[in-house]
Every structure is written in structure tokens, then in C-alpha cells.
Amino acid sequence: MSLLQMAWRNLINRRVQTLITAIVIIIGVSMALSIMMLSDGIKQGIVKASEPYGMIVGSKGSANQLVFNTIFLMDNPLANISLDYYRLLEADPRVNLAVPFALGDNYKGFRIVGTSAEFFTLRGKPADPPYFHLAAGRIFDKAFEAVIGSKVAAETGLAIGDTFVSGHGVAMSNEQDEHKETPYTVVGILNGVSAPSDKGIYVTMDSYWVSHGQHGHDEETETSHGQAAKASAAPTTAPGKPGQATLSWTTNQLEAPQGVTAALIKPKSYMDLMKMYQEINQGARAQAVFPGQIIAKIFDMMGSGEQVLKYISYVVLGMSGLTIVLALYGSTIERRRTVSILRAIGASRRSVLSIVLLECVLIVALGCVGGIAGGYLLTVALSRYIGSQISITVIPMYNWELLSIVGIVGCIGILAGIMPAMSAYRMEAARYLNSQ
């Protein structure tokens, strides 16, 4: 019988102790891996969700609320900015792309977002392909046509050609017939991108305005929207700066009945971006935010909680090492007569030392393998739960840094087995041969 087989049989004979020790290791490894994978997965999900978005402009208020509402479809919308002010931004010669957003309705808890067809042309980088792709159907081209996200289609059962009625507010209520006179028709379904947009329902701006009683903006106006904006809402020129467009406006430009909750603005150059950012924030009508700055703050806030959870997992891992020491040392004491018999029939001190160390290695290996599997399953379960509660998609993934944690745990476990192994190595065989 080999030393490995003898070590394995010793563990089998002590099933309860072996199982408890392995469970403690599994819990420690699972917690450590799950915390790190969840943290990385949430960060990846946040970054992926914000990829196609540039500078966000909305009414004065919380910058965090503006980003969470516009990009992550969470929190309550801020007050609207006027349509004329949005058109002023759109017509600015420094702007390459302007996309409006209007929020305030839902269907079965899924946010309805009023926007333009340009939304579906957004890209993470200029050289990247479009961020959004259709899985079926087409983009809306008139009022009360809707393009729905992949999760909306999966969870509601809506398909191309189906109709639905929206409810007022951003949360699902018992009454979903406030807008029963203006039902929506599904004309397109987006491919899943593991982002909050999977939970969005996208409609034309006209649909939003008509649903909220903001009439007077018909389809013809929407069709000629860009040209009309540039003709009627061209930016004025600041005194002393010939040819330089600035964001100034008159009182009558701000009295349009329609409004937009937020606007995505992509200037033509970085210099234009920074100038517009400063001009907008220095004014009294709107604020401009960079999603990247808000995301950096979110990561900072996550860092503190993540560190606390890591410390807890480290404590559990330390308990795992202590449990290994106690379990193996206790088994060595219990098996002193067995060890003495092995020595009497010719087993060397080195063989006895090897058997105890092999037992430690086997327990640690079982715990680490179980911890890797348990950590992944726990992360997947928590990711699904988080995804069902909020719009942020968690993207769990393994990397080599996580496997280094397993290696460290293995080394700690083996080191923990040295003390009971040395105790067995130094045991005097003759002393325990005659003990009962």
C-alpha cells in the first residue's frame, strides 16, 4: 500500500473531522473568490453599460441621479430641460451628435425611454461597430412604435407586432392603463448586450410627449427636427468672441411645452467637449456630467465595502488553517498507538511525516476544489439576484489573480500541517506500544 493510499484511508476513517475541515476551507475560499469576482463583475458591468455614452446634460440637481437614471435606468428622473434648450445644444456647431432622453413611464416595471433613432447608432469608440444591434424587426420610425430590450422580451413575452399600454411613473403599479388611449406596438427587439439597455423600452420622443399631454409636436415636426432646430435655435455669439458659439438663450426660448429629461452630447473634439462642459455648468439652466467621473466615485465607494468583506474572508481562511492544525494534531494524538505500530513494523520517521503531510495536502486539495466550484456557483447566484433587483448586469469571470488566492490558501494549509506532522515524526514508538 502506498503512502498516499494510507493517508487517504486515514481520512476516510475520520470522516466527520475530514468533512468539517474541508467545509471550513470551502467556505473561506468560496467567500474570497466570490467577493473578488462580484466586485470585478459589477465594475465590468458598469463600465460596459456606460461605453457608448459621452457627456450627459440634464437639469440642475444630483449628478449621480442624472447618470443612474439615464444610463442605468435607475432612480427617479430629474426635472426636464426645455426642448428649445436641447435644440440649442443640438444646433451648436461644436456638437457632432445629440440624442434626447425622456423618462417617466413604465410597462410592468420596465422603463420606457423616449429618444431618437440616433440612439441606436451609438458607439463606444468612433472605430467600433454600433453598440446596439437588432435581433428582430426594425427601428421605430413613427409615434407609438417601440423597440424593446432583450430582457423585456424574455420576461414579458412581447414579440414583434404585439401591443401594450404604458403606466405612469418609473415603478410598476397596480394600474397600468393611464395611457390606454395610446398603446405601443413592438416593431423591434434588441440583441442582449449585458447592460441596463436590455431592460429598456425605446420609443419616439413624440410618443412620450403625446402620452403626457404635450401636444403640438407632430410627426412632421419630428421629421424635420434637425433642420428646424438649426434654423430656429441657433446659438448666439458671445460679445468679444467673434465666431465662437456659446450656450446663451432668451426667455421665450425656454417656454416650449415639451421637454427632455436628459441629452447625450458628443462634441466634435476634446477641446469643444471641455468648453461646452464649462459653459453648461456655469449656466443656471442645466448641468453637464461625465459618466466616467461618476463611475470612478462609485468604484471608490465600492472599495471600502469590498475591503471589509475581504477582511472577513481572510479571517475565515485563517480559521481554516487553524482548523487544519487542530484536526491533524488531534488525529495524531488519537493515533499515537497506530503510529507506534507502524514504526515497530519498519516504517521510518520520514514515512510517518509524509503520511501526515499527505493527509493535510488531500484535505486542502478537497477544500480548494470545492471552494472554486462553490465560489463560482455563489457568484452566479448572487449575480442573478443583483441583476433582478437593479439594472446593473454583473459579469462574473475567473482570472489568474483569483487562482493565486487558491494557491496561497493551499500553501497556508500545508504549512498548518507541519506542526502535527513534526509531532508524529518525533513520537517515541516504544512509549505507546504497551498503552491500552
The fraction of the chain above a pLDDT of 70, given in percent, is: 75
At 248 the pLDDT is 40
Query: What is the rounded CA–CA span in Å between residue 372 and residue 148?
Result: 37
At 297 the pLDDT is 80
For the stretch 18-47, pLDDT in tens is 888 888 888 888 888 888 888 888 888 888
Of 46-60, 82-96, 167-181, 392-406, which gets the smallest average pLDDT?
167-181
Instruction: List the one residue out of 112, 162, 119 whose CA is nearest residue 139.
Output: 119
The fraction of the chain above a pLDDT of 90, given in percent, is: 25
Q: What is the mean pLDDT of residues 8-22?
A: 81
For the stretch 142-151, pLDDT in tens is 889 999 999 9
Unique residue bearing C-alpha cell 470585478:
40
pTM of the predicted model, to two decimals? 0.69
pLDDT > 70? residue 334? no
Which one is predicted more confidently, 328 or 30? Answer: 30
Which one is predicted more confidently, 137 or 429? Answer: 137
pLDDT > 60? residue 316? yes
For the stretch 233-287, pLDDT in tens is 344 433 333 334 444 433 333 333 578 999 999 999 999 999 999 999 998 889 9
Query: What is the rounded CA–CA span in Å between residue 419 and residue 434?
Result: 25
Q: Write out the three cell numbers for 118.
A: 440616433
Q: Which residues contact 170 (CB under 8 A, 6 or more apart)?
A: 76, 77, 103, 104, 105, 106, 111
Q: Write out the three cell numbers for 355.
A: 503520511
Query: What is the rounded CA–CA span in Å between residue 188 and residue 161?
Result: 9
For the stretch 57-92, pLDDT in tens is 999 988 989 998 888 888 788 888 988 999 999 999
Report CA Rg, the chain: 32
Which one is predicted more confidently, 330 or 43? Answer: 43
At 246 the pLDDT is 41
Query: What is the rounded CA–CA span in Å between residue 356 and residue 278?
Result: 69
Q: Are strands 81-82 and 259-260 parallel, antiparallel or unpaired?
A: antiparallel
Q: Are strands 95-107 and 110-115 parallel, antiparallel or unpaired?
A: antiparallel
The residue count for the chain: 436
What does the mean pLDDT of the chain come to?
78
pLDDT > 80? residue 152? yes
